Amino acid sequence: MTTLPLLVDSHCHLDFPDFDNELPLVIDRALAAGVTRMVTICTRLRHEPRVRAIAETYPSVFYAVGTHPMSAAEEPLATVDDLIAIARHPKMVGIGETGLDYHYTAETAPIQQTSLRIHIAAARETGLPLIIHARAADDDMARILTEEYRNGAYPCVMHCFSSSTKLGRAALDLGFYLSMSGIAAFPKSTDLRAIFAAAPLDRILLETDSPYLAPPPHRGRRNEPSYTAHTAQAGAAVYGLDLAEFATITSANFDRLFSKAAAMKAAG
């Protein structure tokens, strides 16, 4: 019998309508592929009850809560107290996703920055990892993360990292983690793979960002947590490791950053 490498999908969106009426099968396929834990991400605070319900239904699923930067101008501004209160739930393990997106919503940059700083304060207060979305905003992102870190340390992961070497280095210099998505497995992502190859192996996580960004051989179709295995295979090649070793290391990295989820696994 072949033993599957044990993987973690550190960022997915299981409440999205793409998974309606199929979620039990999606979870089963993930487990069958060796993806033993998943973190499903709430992108609008008003959706927290339905995201929480998914985590409560499936033992392998945890959740994180924040306001996505592209929604920051449409949603009521979260408060630090709001996020701290939600974080009391035993399966709520991260703050976000939050961040800056100037590709689609540059006109809302000021409110995005305000929202980001609120989420950073909540991460600092709770000790839960901040989950960052960054697109076309590298300079402001590096500046704000660094400014805020000087005000007090906080844990952080750059979700679905596909930004510049400069932002990657700034994040790593602060002790943050870079998360590898299906983009890293795309044939043309040579420069991105080089950034990961130069990063410390103990700061790398895996994710799908499903239903988006399916890796080959599923590119162009709906992504799902089971496809973490394909990204892991590409990541293992970047570091010259076999899949089982890379899976072990990235899962240990997840446990170190998402210590609340790790504690629940240990207790279970």
Give residue-wise pLDDT tens across range 95-144.
999 999 999 999 999 999 999 999 999 999 999 999 999 999 999 999 99
pLDDT (0 to 100) of residue 161: 97
Name the 3-class secondary structure at 242. Answer: coil
Cβ atoms within 10 Å, residue 102: 19
- Average pLDDT of every residue of the chain: 96
Residue 268: predicted pLDDT? 54
Residue 245, class by beta-carbon neighbours within 10 Å (0-12 exposed, 13-18 middle, 19+ buried)?
Answer: middle
Query: According to the model, what pLDDT value does residue 105 have?
Result: 96
User: What would the pLDDT profile of 22-47 be if each residue is shown by its tens digit?
Assistant: 999 999 999 999 999 999 999 999 99
Q: Output the pLDDT for position 69.
A: 98
Q: What is the pLDDT of residue 56?
A: 98
Which sequence spans correspond to the domains of the chain? 7-267
The predicted pLDDT at position 264 comes to 82
Q: Does domain 7-267 match CATH 3.20.20.140? A: yes
Against a cut of 0.75, is the pTM above it? yes
Q: Residue 267: its pLDDT value, please? A: 63
Backbone angles phi, psi at 36, to 5 degrees: -85, -20
Residue ranges of the chain with per-residue pLDDT less than 70: 1-3, 266-268
Please report the pLDDT score of residue 4 as a whole number.
Answer: 73
Answer whether 260's CB lies under 8 Å from 55's CB: no
